[in-house]
Amino acid sequence: MTGICGRAPSQPGTVRTRRLLALALVGLGLAGCQTRSPETTGSISSLNPFGKSRPERSPRAEVEALADRYNADPSDARNAMRYAAALRATDQKSQAVAVLQQLALRNPKDKAVLAAYGKSLADAGRYGEANEVLQNAHSPAQPDWRVLSAQGMVADETGDHARAQSLYDAALKIAPNEPRVLSNLGLSYALSRRLEEAETTLRLAVAQPKADARVRQNLALVLGLKGRYDEAEQVLAQDLGPAEAAANVRELRAMAARRAAPKTAQAPSPAPSRQLARASIQ
């Protein structure tokens, strides 16, 4: 979900993250910031894609083991979904989509399979297809908050922030104070340039017992978008450590400064060297 005086997850370097960052840079001076800052939809992260504590096997070994089982029996839905999840976690998005597409063809009425397929399509930037699949992954009579949240992220990606926020609100009615949904809602507010609401929502998300590093990093991102770099660094340091947190904040300051400079003096801004992680299509 986009700039720092303002708003990602997954989940490295997504279109959503880049868009948020671009919006943030365009929206310099948001919320009365004295320091110009960019906007993004996620948080700065160098965490292991399988979680903060490393598994016994490396991500590559995990993918290879799951691939062997998948090739031996592609109809095993449980293993296919685990394999696709591992592919997504290692940024092999098109391969994950291909695995889940075949699984969905074999199981066209399995809502769990459709939900995973729709989220994978969204993760790959195929938003129109994702929206169509996700609509069939649950029903009005039996809504799934995870699917609602994924639909909200798709709506944010396509610029329909009002619809996204209504979907997150619907998800929160089913799963009150779920930190992943609150995090996505906060990022959506940031995309809408409603930074006060973004911060309030993300602080509520961070206060939840199940909040993870990505949620805290999304709060740090919004604090940065508001020009409160010291606070952002403190939040980032909880998970990245002082040195990495400081490095990320320096980079955000530098991007904001480049954007604030007179256009004739500006060199083309390089892509951030560190990846911004979104709040996630889980």
Q: Give tens-digit pLDDT for 68-95.
A: 999 999 999 999 999 999 999 899 999 9
Are the CB atoms for 217 and 237 separated by under 8 Å? Answer: no
Domain with 59 in it: 15-278
Inform me whether the pLDDT recorded for 180 exceeds 50: yes
User: Could you tell me the pLDDT band of residue 53, with boundaries at 50, 70 and 90?
Assistant: very low
178 located within any domain:
yes
State the average pLDDT over residues 152-181.
Answer: 96
8 located within any domain:
no
Inform me whether the pLDDT recorded for 39 exceeds 50: no
225 located within any domain:
yes
271 located within any domain:
yes
Are the CB atoms for 44 and 78 separated by under 8 Å? Answer: no
Nearest Cα neighbor of 155 from 3, 39, 44, 41 is: 41
7 located within any domain:
no
State the average pLDDT over residues 188-200.
Answer: 94
Interaxial angle between packed helices 15-26 and 242-260, expressed in degrees from 0 to 180 and rounded to the nearest 10: 50
Number of domain units in the chain? 1
6 located within any domain:
no
Q: Tens digits of per-residue pLDDT, 118-136?
A: 999 999 999 999 999 999 9
What 3-state class would DSSP assign to 277? strand
Cα dihedral sign for 32, 34, 39, 45? negative
3 located within any domain:
no
5 located within any domain:
no
Q: What is the pLDDT of residue 46?
A: 30
User: Could you tell me the pLDDT band of residue 38, with boundaries at 50, 70 and 90?
Assistant: very low
Q: Tens digits of per-residue pLDDT, 147-164?
A: 999 999 999 999 999 999
Report in angstroms the alpha-carbon separations of 74 from 67, 85, 107: 9, 15, 12
CATH of the domain at 135: 1.25.40.10
Return the bridge partners of 43, or none: 277
State the average pLDDT over residues 23-37.
Answer: 32
In the chain, the percentage of residues whose pLDDT exceeds 90 is: 61
